[in-house]
Amino acid sequence: MLNKYLSLSLLVLLTACGATQPPPYQKDRAPEDRDQYSGAEGLRQQQQDQTHLINKELDDKCNAAKLDLAMAEQESNTGEIHQQIELINSMCISEE
């Protein structure tokens, strides 16, 4: 009788564990807002999200440098122009 209850308890526990597994990642969230990943698919998505976030950060910095360059050109500030051109050349991905 004890084995029957033990087997039934184990079956219920295993079934419950399978039902409560989280999804591989939070598909309904933007990459910036995801903070939970699990399994191989989650790991793959986490790597894609990290690449996306790095590229977005570089793109934001590149755009900021381009705006600063435009302002420096408008003010005829040659020192700042050269500095911003160097930043643009080092951060911006070539758009050919």
Q: What are the tokens at 51?
A: 């690449």
Distances (CA, A) of 24 to 4, 34, 54, 67: 35, 11, 22, 39
| Pairwise pLDDT comparison (4 vs 86), residue with the higher score | 86
pLDDT in tens, 32-79: 999 999 999 999 999 999 999 999 999 999 999 999 999 999 999 999
Q: What are the tokens at 34?
A: 């995801």
Q: What is the span of the domain harbouring residue 74?
A: 36-96
User: Which amino acid is residue 91, in one-letter code?
Assistant: M
Give how many domains the chain has, as a whole number.
1
58 domain-assigned: yes
Kindly tell me if the per-residue pLDDT of 83 is higher than 60: yes
21 domain-assigned: no
Kindly tell me if the per-residue pLDDT of 28 is higher than 70: yes
| Pairwise pLDDT comparison (6 vs 49), residue with the higher score | 49
